[in-house]
Each structure stands twice: as structure tokens, then as C-alpha cells.
Amino acid sequence: MSQYDYDLLIIGGGSGGLACSKETAKLGARVAVCDFVTPSPKGTTWGLGGTCVNVGCIPKKLMHQATLLGEYHEDSKKFGWKYAGDAAKTHDWNTMVDAIQDYICSLNFKYRTELREKGVKYLNAHAKFIDAHTVELKDKKGAITQATADKIIVATGGRPKYLGLENEKECCITSDDLFSMQTAPGKTLVVGASYVALECAGFLAGLKYDTTVMMRSIPLRGFDQQAAERICDYMVEHGTKFIRGCVPAAVEKLPSGKIKVSWKPTSGDGAMESDEYDTVLVAVGRTALTAECGCENAGIEVHPSSKKIIGKGTGVGGTEQSNIENIFAIGDVLEGYPELTPVAISAGQLLARRLFGGSTKQMDYVNIPTTVFTPVEYGVCGLSEEDAIAQYGEDDIEVYHSAFKPLELTVPGRGDNASYVKVICRISEKEKIVGMHILGWNAGEIIQGFGIGMKLGAKKEDLDDLVGIHPTAAEVFTTLNITKRSGGDYMAAGC
């Protein structure tokens, strides 16, 4: 008999933790998942499933879909559709929120059911390390117990950061709060330039709320900056306002209930400015929940800035092993790796198979496709142009690109220059593709398909030999012949 309560205990019931627990149980090990959501400063909480399901990918994309439906409604009129009494078309925030929350609640129930059916012990309690094999469990009633495990995985992810301003937690919300708000947001200031900031601002503006984005510096740091700026240009054309090079200096709740925000430039001696908003959404990044689960009590090494766990393992433990032999980390809480739900799921499943199934297969973190669901979607796999140049040198990089209008938008007469593709190649390796980028509708569906080619080492000539599907946006990847170096006209003509 083992000296521990469990073979594996996972702290965090998000996508990675759930996937890892179910895989571990399938391999015959005794496994438990600890999951507890500390309410946001506004009191928002949610069920089992983690950030992606409850306050991230799922509600974000559904609200993005709501804006697309509004656009399609208008487009359909140009194709001959007529609507009786359509003069006062409006959107009802509460109907959308209630429908999305109902769907999320069904997912919460499904996850709990799956854990029970697969033999995973679900512990709805806040877990905090006592030592490397022991955690303290505190449930919602304050009752405290302990659990021990041979191996422990930290899969806690993170929570939104704040700005550090006085009264901001009273005055501002984060993405933890937005998706379940029972009152329409009204005039909104989004502080930040992350993908969360731009995605939220995009669907709020698309739902016809007066929306402003305040950016300290560049948009979508870490992504291709040409693509990022094209996204901002498109958002401006479709109603989103931007305040660039500024940060909030103070927030104040007025007797009217509105939030007064005062801001200043990040450089120079520009005058302080201010405005009043119904909602202020802070989206300036996330911080890992390692302090909350007491990583220091187990001697786990974390990054001094991000507070994420530093992977140091080799062999069976792999990248996900911490400096403590029996403790591992997966998902957003692991330093230096993509903060993406499918990454956490795959890493968790592979780690379970190595720990309990005799597998040696490691997670491959290279060339993982992803999509930003801004009003014009942005799909990417591989390096940005800036990173490719930094890694290989400008002389070894060839960039093929094309801007175009999707056929679907020609009749409605919108979307000029909204769609764009870029393929980045390394010349010294026979133009091996090191980055693929697409701006446009269904960008995620498109980049997912091309991602397999990059995993297999595709070259530019492989794209040239691929016969495109006509007429589609994805087809443009197969017809690229203009390079940035040539300076040629990269605006594609029609059929």
C-alpha cells in the first residue's frame, strides 16, 4: 500500500488539469483534482473547468460570434434579403449573456460527471502546499483537511493583473467579470493592448457600445507587428477608438455611478486628460497563482517577475518538471511556454502517460497554431517577422505576402484590405517556412490546416505545388509570388 492518499494530485481544474487527471485515471493510478475559484474583487465566481471555459475562450468566441451575426445581417440585405420592421435593429445584452452562461453551466456539470465516471476524485477546495507531498485543503465553508500524494501537478493558470491604482478594484472590472455581467457595459474603456484587450474591445464595439482602447505601447506584444497594426486599423474603421501611448493615473467612482478615468502620456510632459465611462475593463496581462497555492512551502522555484514555475526536468519529467523531483507544472503556470488551452491539454495528457504509462513522448512546443479573435481574426503559426529576423538575420529571411478582399465581402462593399496573408521563409534552408500569418474571416480554421504542413517542415515550393480551393481565402497561401524585398504590389486582384 502506498504511504500517500493519491498517486497524483492535481492543483487546478482547468483544461490541462482535467485532461491530465482523466488520462491518469485511465492508466489505473489514484488521482484527485483540487479546484477552487476565489471570487474576483467584484464577487464573480464560476464552476469547474478553468479560465478557458468560464471566463476565456468559450464566452469570448461566442460574443465574437454575436458581433459577426450582426454584420452578416446587414450584409444579407445587399444579397436581397428583406426584413419587415428592421429599422430599429438592436442587440439585447442580457439575452446573450444568459444564453452563454447557460451553456457554460452545462459544461461545468459535464466535467464533474466525467470525473466521477472516470474515477477521478474531485475536491472542491483551495489547495496549498505544506510540503512537497502534502497540501492543505480549505473548502468553501472554511473546513480544513490535508491530502498527500506521491506526485503533484500545479495547473492553476493565472488571474488578471491590476494597474496598482487606488480604488481600481472597486471601480474596474476584468475579463473575470465581463462575460457574466447582468448590466450592459455601456460606454467602455479597455485598458491594455493584449489579445484579451483587443478581443473584448472588438466585440463590445461590434455590439454597438462606445468603446475605447488605451494602450501603453504596442498592440499584441509578441505577435507580428504588421498584422497587429492592421488589426488596429480595421478596428478603428469599424468604430473602436484608441488612445495610444498613455496609461491611467487615477480612477474615481462618481455619484452618478460613472467611472472617471484620468490618464497621462507614458513619455514627455503631456497634460493630464480625463473622461467618464460606464465600464472600465483592465486587461493588462495575467499573473500566475503560485503564491496562492504556497509553492514556496514546497521549495518550488518560480520566475521572479511572472511568478510562473520554472521547468527544469529532463527524462520522464520533461520540460514540465520543476526543481522539486515529484512536482510538475502544466499550462499557463509554466514559465516560457504558450498560454493556450490545447497546449495545456496535450502537455497534461503526455505527462500522465510518461508518469504512469511508460511513455517517453515529450510535448513539442514548437510551431503551435493559434488565433486571436479580434474583429478581423488573426491566425498564426510559427515566428513573427520580427522574431524571424532576430533569430536568423534579415538576409536569411524572405517574406511573401498578399492583401485581398474575401469574395463574400465584395457585394456588401466592406472589408477593404482587411484580409492579409504572410509567409516567412528561411532562404538558407531552401525557403523552409518558419512563420505563417493570416488576417481574415475563419482565420483559425485556415491556420489549423496549414499547421500540419509546418510541423512536417514544409517549404515555400510545397505551397506553390498545392492546388488551392477556389474561391476561398485559404487559397491565397498557394498563389503567393510577391516578396517584401521586391517591393511589388501585393494587393491581389479579383478572379
Same fold yes or no, 6-55+96-160+287-356 and 370-478 = no
CATH number (3.30.1390.20, 3.40.50.720, 3.50.50.60, 3.60.15.10) of 6-55+96-160+287-356 reads: 3.50.50.60
Identified catalytic residue from 73, 238, 303, 470: 470
The tens digit of pLDDT for each residue in 370-390 reads 999 999 999 999 999 999 999
Q: Strand pairing partners for 153?
A: 10, 328
pLDDT at 88: 64
Q: Is 297 exposed, middle or buried (0-12, 13-18, 19+ CB in 10 A)?
A: middle
Concerning whether 401 is annotated as a catalytic residue, the answer is no
- What is the DSSP secondary-structure string of 417-464? TTEEEEEEEEGGGTSEEEEEEEESTTHHHHHHHHHHHHHTT-BHHHHH
Over residues 182-204, the pLDDT tens digits come to 999 999 999 999 999 999 999 99
Give 314's pLDDT tier (boundaries 50, 70, 90). Answer: confident
Q: Is 476 helix (H, G, I), strand (E, B) or coil?
A: helix
pLDDT tens profile 53-96:
999 999 999 999 999 999 999 999 999 999 887 766 789 999 99
CA-to-CA distance for 343 and 99, rounded, in angstroms?
28
* Mean of per-residue pLDDT scores for the chain: 96
Give the DSSP letter string of 340-363: -HHHHHHHHHHHHHHHHS---PPP
Please identify which residue in the block is written with the cell numbers 476524485.
121
Distance between CA atoms of residues 288 and 11, nearest Å: 13
Average pLDDT over residues 361-377: 97
pLDDT per residue as tens digits for the range 12-43 = 999 999 999 999 999 999 999 999 999 999 99
Cα separation, 237 vs 197, in Å, equals: 17
- DSSP E strands, 209-346: 211-215, 241-244, 246-253, 259-265, 273-277, 279-282, 286-288, 327-329
CA distances from 351 to 5, 313, 347, 360 (A): 20, 12, 6, 9
Q: How confident is the model at residue 315 (pLDDT cuts 50, 70, 90)?
A: confident
Q: pLDDT at position 140, please? A: 94
Instruction: Please give the grid coordinates belonging to residue 38.
Output: 476565489
pTM: 0.96
Fold of 168-284: FAD/NAD(P)-binding domain (3.50.50)
| 152, 159, 180, 249 from 308: Cα distances, Å | 16, 12, 28, 28
DSSP secondary structure letter of residue 131 = E
User: Which class in CATH covers the domain with range 370-478?
Assistant: alpha beta
Q: Looking at the predicted structure, is the pLDDT value of residue 430 above 60?
A: yes
Residue corresponding to grid cell 506521491: 150
The domain locations on the chain are 6-55+96-160+287-356, 168-284, 370-478
Banded pLDDT at 279 (limits 50, 70, 90): very high
Query: What is the share, in percent, of the chain residues with pLDDT greater than 90?
Result: 93
Beta strands 286-288; 241-244: pairing state: unpaired
Alpha helices in 79-189 (DSSP H): 93-118, 168-171, 175-178
Residue 161 has pLDDT above 60, yes or no: yes
pLDDT per residue as tens digits for the range 437-461:
999 999 999 999 999 999 999 999 9
**Which strand (E) or helix (H) includes residue 152?**
strand 144-154
Show the cell assigned to 39: 471570487
- At residue 495, does pLDDT exceed 60? no
What percentage of the chain exceeds 70 in pLDDT? 99
Question: Could you give the 3-state DSSP secondary structure of residue 313?
Answer: coil
Confidence of residue 494 (pLDDT cuts 50, 70, 90): low
Question: Which residue bears the cell 439575452?
Answer: 95
